[in-house]
Structures are given as structure tokens and as C-alpha cells.
Amino acid sequence: MNQYKDQGKQDTRSGFGAGLTELGRKNPKVVALCADLVGSLKMDDFIAENPERFFQVGIAEANMMGIAAGMTIGGYIPFTGTFANFSTGRVYDQIRQSIAYSDKNVKICASHAGITLGEDGATHQILEDIGLMKMLPGMTVINPCDFNQTKAATLAIADYHGPVYLRFGRPKVANFTPVDQKFEIGKAIMLQEGTDVTILATGHLVWESLLAAETLEQKGISAEVINIHTIKPLDEAAILKSVKKTGCVVTAEEHNYLGGLGESVARVLAVNHPAPQGFVATQDTFGESGTPEELMEKYGLNNKAVTAAVLKVLKKKA
């Protein structure tokens, strides 16, 4: 039975904004940079309280990454803010050379990730960013599921030394995790125990997976749901423990199935414990303009898709 309840829909980008504002009050070393998207990144309160610690670089994302890398040399903890597409694809060379290779303590904070960016369309709906970031040596990749967890993750990465990619979104979604839940980088969270199938979900697909588990329960299927908020480092121990119990797994993510959470899980299973796996993700395609709900339905990224994937993978169990 799903013990989590929607406390009221909120956007995860506002969770980032709330976390950044709190950091501004607590940690004088935290600075923020933005590429002309202050309102979209919910940075207004931080700027109002800490104008001397905010740097507007304009539509010059590559410069922003270089500036942020340089600031770390002075002991500052820079949080860069722009859309996920511009936080990764547009500036990949700068992130690789100046941040990841140089092991700089930069927090790359990426809003409007995935297909739920909605009406802006395919050019802005990046579905490759997790893959781009997780392949960089030393890069930590975090994809929280709701407002509360995004705020908690924002606070946690300030205390972690090293480059971090923090991914969040535009639409208002269910806010269901405890407000005081501690965020541990690299530690998956068991949301619901089950015996028949493991559902490993990340980001916006976590709530959808809980809804799917309710539907499956009505069909007599016991689903174990785990929130994989950290894609890298992946909590391999939690994944293997669960899959060894249930015998099969479905991964669910708002990302291309190539390079995302599903592939990371498949590697872990291939090396340690091969098991049937289903993938809920976009199928090597770009998006299009539409409302988030319409796009999640069309591209198979909702609770109905998770339910269908579970029913399919159960047939492959030995």
C-alpha cells in the first residue's frame, strides 16, 4: 500500500530556489551564476538577500562554466543555473575540461530537464543529459523526484566536495517526500517493499511508479518501488538486494533509454546478477511541443507505461 500522499503539487525548480536561498543564509562561500534565466531558476530570493554573491553572465553559458571553475580556486562554491539543455549540451567541452577533468567544486544546476519542459519543444527538451554527465569521470549526477527532495539535494551538494550535476524540472508535480528527510548522495530510498518485481525510478517517474504500484496491487502483484535519486554513484547494493528478491526489474526515467538510469542498472545486473529488465524511457527520439501531460502520455512516461512494463517483464521471469 502506498504510504505517500501528495502534499500539493509544486515544481522541483522551486525546490532548488528554496534550497539555494537557505544556503545563502547559511554558507557565505555559496555564490550563484545565471545565464539570463533568473526567474525560471527561481533565484530571485537568493539574489535579493545576497546581491554581492550573484553573477548574471547573460546568454553566455560557456563563459559561465569557466567563471564558476575559476571561482572554486578562491574557495567559493558556485551554483550555475540555466536550462538542462544549455547546462550540458551547449557547454560540454567547458564542463569536461574546466570542471570535471580539473576536479572543480562546481554545482551545475539544470532546470527544465526532460520532455516535461513542454511547449518549448524538442530543441529545449534534452533527453540525453544524464548520459552526457554520468560518463564524465568524477561527476556526481542527481535527479530528485519532488520539491522537498530537490531542496534537500540542493543543501546536500553544498557540503559535498566535487563537481555535481543536479537535474530538476519545470512542471508542478506531486510533492510527497517528507520535508525533513535527510538526503544522502548515492543512497537509494526504499518507498515500498514488494516481492514480485522491482521498480527503480528517478525524477518525475518516482511518483508515477508509486501510482503504478497501486494499480499492480489491485491485480495481485506486489511491486517494490525504490527512488534512485542519485544516478552516479549508483546504489548498487540496494539494487542487487531488491532484484535478487523479486527476480525482475523495471527502470523508469524521463530520459532516453540510451545512456540513462536503465543502462546503468543493466550494467550492474549483467556483471553481478543477470535478471529480466524492462525500460520505461524515451525510445531514442527527440520530443515535440505539447503540454507535459500530453507528452508523457505520447512518449510512454507515466504510471500506465510503468504498469505495462511490469506486466511484460513478469512474463520473462524464470
Q: Which residues are catalytic?
A: 61
110 forms beta bridges with 82, 167
HSE at residue 24, side-chain half, CA atoms within 13 A, is 22
HSE at residue 115, side-chain half, CA atoms within 13 A, is 27
| Residue whose entry in the numeric block shows the C-alpha cell 539570463 | 36
Cα separation, 164 vs 277, in Å, equals 28
CB under 8 Å, gap of 24 or more: what pairs does 266-275 form? 268/234, 268/236, 268/239, 268/240, 269/239, 269/240, 269/243, 272/236, 272/240, 273/240, 273/243, 273/244, 275/243, 275/247, 275/248, 275/249
269 CB neighbour count, 10 Å cutoff: 18
Picking from 195, 187, 194, the residue whose alpha carbon sits closest to that of residue 160 is 187
Cα separation, 279 vs 286, in Å, equals 17
